[in-house]
Structure 1
Amino acid sequence: MTKTGRNSMAEAMTVLVTVAMWIAGAFGVIGIPVLSLGLIASLSNGEASLPGIEALADGVSPGSFVIALGLLCVIVPGVIFICVQMRRILLTLVEGDPFVPENAGRLSRIGVAIAAMEIIRIATLLVVRAMPSLVGDAPPKLSTQLILWISVAALFILSQVFREGTRLRDEEKMTI
């Protein structure tokens, strides 16, 4: 296959995915310590003091902090992982050859990551709902989104399309 000119749209998308990856990392670096301190304050009757830091969490249930902290600990690494996989796919597109066998696996891994993050989110909510002492009078609402599961299915379908397209292209290369 002959290489074509560089794909400027793919290059721009690579930059956007990289920025999203760094933003997710920043949320983790900032959010995890802040939410941890809030959880400590919430468990300590609404106040916590550490050297140079004072946290007030009056009226916020520990369950809210547990949910937010748990989800942040899952979502941040998940988003970073997905962004890394997307960057690798986009780099093959920038190079002019996106139909490589590795991209099928990358699409599958993105689908698994999204599904795992949703399952962990639901499990976190179920665990917190099962502990009335953590959530107080307002248990978190349990929900899932059909579009998310359709997207996961679409990623697995695209993965198979990439896998088959790569196989057919490789067979064509060997045909004289």
Structure 2
Amino acid sequence: MKLRPKDPLLAAASGIALLGQGLSVVVAGATLIAAPVLFFLRDQVLTALSSEAGHAMPGSTVVAIALILLLVAAMAICAFVFLRHLRRIIDSVGHGDPFAPVNARRLAAMAWLTLAIEGLSIPVGGIGQWLAATIKDATSDFGISVGGVLLALILFILARVFREGARMRDDLEGTV
């Protein structure tokens, strides 16, 4: 049973999550293709970077860039799964059954995915700092997102709230 067949908020949230999933597929696909291509074009990449930097770039530069691309692909895959869980939660709200144990598990998984993305950002930032130091006019922003950690904490708490809500609903149904 649906609460509201055409709830605009749920429809918009689901659409935005779907758009985000599409974007994450594009990012993951592009980075997974670009990483091996870098090795095939290694000499051209090093020549271009060396001319930009004004000095010869070490071969490890290509490895570092490829590693960043692979880590970004992993982050995009985590984002895709995160948004898939979110869409399923949105669907359950639309069907009038959000306080289900599966949604508690989804929220906990979303929290872990958020922490995974934050964790993957650490080596990406570190490698980016190293690249920025070796390439002229390159910059890198490095740091843990307080917002990301806060989001994970909120999701863990919401998972407990949903787990308790599902338990209370089951208890109530058992008494009727």
Q: Provide the C-alpha distance between the structure 2 equivalents of 1:159 and 1:116, rounded to a whole number of angstroms.
A: 17
Q: Which residue of 2 aligns with 1:161?
A: 161
- Residue 44 of structure 1: SS of its match in structure 2? helix
Assess, with a 3 A threshold, how the Cα gap between structure 1 residues 44 and 156 changes in structure 2: closer, same or farther.
Answer: same
Post-superposition CA distance 1:98-147 (Å, at most 9, x none) = 11110000000000011011112213444x379x6996267855311222
Q: Which residue of 2 aligns with 1:5?
A: 4
Q: Provide the C-alpha distance between the structure 1 equivalents of 2:46 and 2:80, rounded to a whole number of angstroms.
A: 33
Greater displacement, 61-70 / 89-98: 61-70
1:28 aligned partner, one-letter code: A
Matched, 1:103 2:103: yes
Scaled by the length of structure 2, the TM-score of the pair is 0.76
Q: Which residue of 1 aligns with 2:22?
A: 22
Assess, with a 3 A threshold, how the Cα gap between structure 1 residues 89 and 7 changes in structure 2: closer, same or farther.
Answer: farther
1:46 aligned partner, one-letter code: V
Q: Provide the C-alpha distance between the structure 1 equivalents of 2:16 and 2:141, rounded to a whole number of angstroms.
A: 32
1:15 aligned partner, one-letter code: G
Q: Which residue of 1 aligns with 2:58?
A: none
Q: Provide the C-alpha distance between the structure 2 equivalents of 1:7 and 1:154, rounded to a whole number of angstroms.
A: 28
User: Which structure: greater helix fraction?
Assistant: 2
Percent of aligned positions that are identical? 20
Q: Which residue of 1 aligns with 2:43?
A: 44
Assess, with a 3 A threshold, how the Cα gap between structure 1 residues 112 and 7 changes in structure 2: closer, same or farther.
Answer: farther
Q: Provide the C-alpha distance between the structure 1 equivalents of 2:36 and 2:117, rounded to a whole number of angstroms.
A: 20
Deviation at 1:73, TM superposition (A): 1.6
Q: Which residue of 2 aligns with 1:33?
A: 33
Assess, with a 3 A threshold, how the Cα gap between structure 1 residues 105 and 133 changes in structure 2: closer, same or farther.
Answer: closer
Please report the RMSD computed on the Cα atoms of aligned residues, expressed in angstroms: 3.1
Q: Provide the C-alpha distance between the structure 1 equivalents of 2:100 and 2:5, rounded to a whole number of angstroms.
A: 17
Q: Which residue of 2 aligns with 1:53?
A: none
2:37 aligned partner, one-letter code: L
Q: Which residue of 1 aligns with 2:56?
A: none
2:100 aligned partner, one-letter code: V
Structure 2 unaligned residues grouped into runs of 5+: 54-60
Please list every run of at least 4 consecutive aligned residues from structure 1 whose deviation after the TM superposition is greater than 6 angstroms: none
Assess, with a 3 A threshold, how the Cα gap between structure 1 residues 63 and 143 changes in structure 2: closer, same or farther.
Answer: farther
Assess, with a 3 A threshold, how the Cα gap between structure 1 residues 85 and 12 changes in structure 2: closer, same or farther.
Answer: same
Deviation at 1:158, TM superposition (A): 0.5
Scaled by the length of structure 1, the TM-score of the pair is 0.76
Structure 1 unaligned residues grouped into runs of 5+: 49-55
- Residue 75 of structure 1: SS of its match in structure 2? helix
Deviation at 1:31, TM superposition (A): 3.6
Deviation at 1:79, TM superposition (A): 1.1
- Residue 52 of structure 2: SS of its match in structure 1? coil
Q: Provide the C-alpha distance between the structure 2 equivalents of 1:135 and 1:33, rounded to a whole number of angstroms.
A: 26
